Amino acid sequence: MMQEAFVTYSVNNNIGTIEFFTPQHNSLPAKILLQLAATIELAGNDTKSNVLILKSSGAKTFCAGASFDELLLIENEAQGLAFFSGFAHVINAMRLCPKLIVGRIQGKAIGGGIGLASSCDYCFATVDAAIKLSELAVGIGPFVVGPAVERKIGNTAAYELAIDATNFRSAQWAKEKGLYAEIFDTIDLMDDAIHQLTNTLATSSAAAMHEIKKAFWHNTDHWNELLKERAAISGRLILSDGSKHFLHQFKNKS
């Protein structure tokens, strides 16, 4: 039986772990986006944890971005704004979270998945964690995740990803651009490194880590409005005949 989608939060030895899953390659429908943003906010305020890990379930795909099933259901600009605002809420929750967030990127990150990785404060990945900003291929663009991606890897690399929307870049490429701090041949090796870093951070000064995070996220106070504006652009473009045609083609193949 296909497993139900979920978002969970657990704490062990002052390390909080946020895990999400959907059966469609960890693509994110509106309900899961809402739960993920709320869980990040909850974990940020939880006194039992000192550092957070963001991970997804499974081995092959970290996150395939937006749920195509829900994109097909968008019928007007208001619905489009509401859906893409879900990604904006998650990115802003990660940005405003007072704790450092360590990303565990075990497999491919596509579209919004790169937005999640870029919004982590430190990312570990495997060699299988290739990346692709696929939005242009769907007739839209990486508008909501764009600020987070640009901040992490720079404007030139982000622009390259946005324009070449059909080809993956390797995990090594992503590491060279600054998205991943380290990459590993296996998930076990990656998890060992995550365990080592988060155990150190779990006993570090919470106040100092909070101030470090604020310093490195400086000049992003306008993102609440910026990402809402970007969500409106995606919400409008997804209504085009070209976008609908692509989504129907994809749906018929799957």
Which tens digit of pLDDT belongs to each residue from 16-55?
A: 999 999 999 999 999 999 999 999 999 999 999 999 999 9
Torsion of CA 56, 173, 51, 46, to 10 degrees: -50
Flag whether 192 is in a domain. no
Residue 57: predicted pLDDT: 96
Residue 254: predicted pLDDT: 55
What pairing do the DSSP bridges indicate for beta strands 15-21 and 6-12? antiparallel
- Tokens of residue 151, six digits: 């901040």
Q: Which residue has the higher pLDDT, 228 or 246?
A: 228
Flag whether 35 is in a domain. yes
Q: What is the pLDDT of the chain when averaged over all its residues?
A: 95
Residue 1: predicted pLDDT: 44
Which tens digit of pLDDT belongs to each residue from 212-225?
A: 999 999 999 999 99
CATH code (residue 60): 3.90.226.10
Q: How many domains does the chain have?
A: 1
Angstrom CA distances, 80 to 29, 99, 115, 206, 228, stand at: 12, 31, 18, 38, 11
Q: Inform me whether the pLDDT recorded for 253 exceeds 60.
A: yes
Structural contact between residues 33 and 91, judged by C-beta atoms closer than 8 angstroms: no
Residue 175: predicted pLDDT: 98
Flag whether 156 is in a domain. yes
Domain holding 27, by residue range, is: 6-187
Q: Inform me whether the pLDDT recorded for 2 exceeds 90.
A: no
Q: Inform me whether the pLDDT recorded for 124 exceeds 50.
A: yes
Flag whether 64 is in a domain. yes
Which tens digit of pLDDT belongs to each residue from 63-117?
A: 999 998 899 999 999 999 999 999 999 999 999 999 999 999 999 999 999 999 9
Flag whether 11 is in a domain. yes
Which tens digit of pLDDT belongs to each residue from 146-176?
A: 999 999 999 999 999 999 999 999 999 999 9
Flag whether 218 is in a domain. no
Flag whether 237 is in a domain. no
Flag whether 112 is in a domain. yes
Q: Which residue has the higher pLDDT, 78 or 59?
A: 78
